[in-house]
Amino acid sequence: MERSGNCTGIGCCQVDIPPRMKNISLQAYSFNNFNSTSDFNQCGYSFVVKNGNYTFSLDHLKGINFTMAPMVMDWSVGNDTCNASMNRDYYACKSHNSDCKNSPYKYGYRCKCKQGFEGNPYLSDGCKDIPECTRKQHNCDSEDHCRETSGSFECFCPDGLIGNGTKEGGGCHRPDQFTKIVIGVGVGLIALFIGVSWIYLMYQKRKVFKLKEKFFQQNGGIILRQQLSTREDSSQSTTIFSAEQLKKATNNFDESLIVGKGGYGTVFKGILSNNKVVAIKKSKIVDQSQVEQFINEVIILSQINHRNVVKLLGCCLETEVPLLVYEFVNNGTLFDYLHNQGQGVNLSWKTRLRIATETAAALSYLHSAASIPIIHRDVKTANILLDDTYTAKVSDFGASKLVPLDQTEIATIVQGTFGYLDPEYMQSSQLTEKSDVYSFGVVLVELLTGEKPFCFDRAEEKRSLTVHFLCSLKEDRLFDVLQVGILDEENKQELMEVAILAARCLRLIGEERPSMKEVAMELEGIKLTEKHPWINTGKNSEEGQYLLHEAQSSREHGDSSSAQQNTGYDSLRAVELIDFGNGR
């Protein structure tokens, strides 16, 4: 017999209806063997009740004391999901403020009103907005500060009050005088800061503008503009760049873009706004007494148009030191190829002869063909750039001098690079075109030997390359000083002719040296002979053979007069008077 509260199978039993049950039948009856001895009510009862809403009692065996019991039916619409049903005509969620929810048993769906709405979602206008404000279903500090919105509400403070209108946030209240003052002062300080910042920026901008204007005038910008206005073609060849243009081109002169440093400035690689790659040279301070001459040099150099001279594209005069803009030559210097990392062995004699010929042609052009003769004044392998095809480009005119047509000599402060300087120029300070010839002679010797002009690491008698070279040539030991790898059976004659030409360029007396035009013509003749070896009766060949014969005769017979007249080797005696010693 069951006890009150237990319904486990004797006199009373219960069973849960499992989910998705479609049909169920109930039967209640008594066993016969109990009827004779039991005073139980022989009637049986069965009913469906919500789980947890019925508790068994022994009195219920005689008769239940209720006629109705609570029951909940779990139901759904149709057999498909929301997504499968919502586009069909019989879709049940009619209200536009309703949501469709899939049945948790994956069988059909049900409809419910959206958050903030109530009513019957199965009617077209069945879900109504809940009036939270009037029902006091809000957290505003007052119903007057509550405003209905679609599906919700918002709290606000009317004009004249401050706060967020909610009970949690302190509601709405009038601002006190202190708050007004703080707000007013804050707004005033912000306005003052903005005003002062604007004035300061304008002042700095004006200051920078005035400084640029000062540098522009100081560096001869007015003179340059006047010169450009009077020259029809110069405006097409000379560009005046702004400081901003060149700063942008070099990423504010980033040190990683430095491609060279010299005695006259630092060179940066830059990319202009039109994607043109240029070399931007940041020069040293310009002597104010030489500003007009500097501007004239800029105009003259920008008009030079020679394939073997680095083109000057323009300048910037808005900075303390002028900035010069050149075409960019991207394959390094001849010095690098001859002396750094063994690259010189990659330069064949044919390439070296062509580089020498092109360099001589460029210097000859500067001396003879330019509108005003130009003395480079610092000819050296470090100032001879090479492009991708190893074409020579003479660069760095920082020490250049324009030569008035009525003058052949100019008195200047001695400038140049040790090892390349003309001894006559060092002694007299008289600059002539023959000074470039001497320096070019040193370049020829570098091309022949692959050695630097002066090196303390060499033996004392070999420290000066020119002295060692001339002595070797005089003693008929030329092939001993040539760089290993450039000599072969086919170019012996060419090497000797170039060596003799170098010796003529290195004569201590400038008047005895050939002009750059003569040097260029002789090198072109040697190069032509290389192309056409059957041409051997020309003037250059005869002169080379004659000079070589005289050099040998001078060595064998000591004929100093003949040597001086034809080869200039007597100048070696003067060279020996220059005591290099330990370099001091």
Catalytic site positions: 378
Angle, alpha carbons 243-245-251 (nearest 5°): 95
Angle of helix 433-449 versus helix 349-364 axis, rounded to 10: 170
Rounded CA separation 54/6 (Å): 11
Contact 300, 371 (CB under 8 A): yes
Of 320, 276, 283, nearest to 298 (Cα)? 283
Rounded CA separation 159/29 (Å): 77
Is 282 a known ligand-binding residue?
Answer: yes
What are the tokens at 373?
Answer: 């003769």
Of 312, 386, 383, 303, nearest to 344 (Cα)? 386
Contact 326, 281 (CB under 8 A): yes
Of 527, 497, 483, nearest to 350 (Cα)? 527
- β-pairing, 239-240 with 312-316? parallel
DSSP three-state, residue 54: coil
How far apart, in Å, do the first and last CA atoms of the chain sit? 131
Beta bridge partners of 129: 117
What are the tokens at 388?
Answer: 């991708």
Q: Is 487 left (phi over 0), alpha (psi -120 to 50) or beta?
A: beta
What is the full DSSP assignment across 392-455? EEE---TT-EE--TT-S-EE----S-TTTS-HHHHHH-EE-HHHHHHHHHHHHHHHHH---SB-
Say which DSSP state 367 is in: I
CA distances from 502 to 442, 495, 528 (A): 7, 10, 18
Query: 446: Cβ–Cβ under 8 A, 6 or more apart, which residues?
Result: 338, 381, 452, 453, 465
CA distances from 420 to 392, 424, 443, 557 (A): 19, 12, 8, 32
Binding-site residues, in ranges, read: 282
Binding-site residues for ATP, in ranges, read: 282
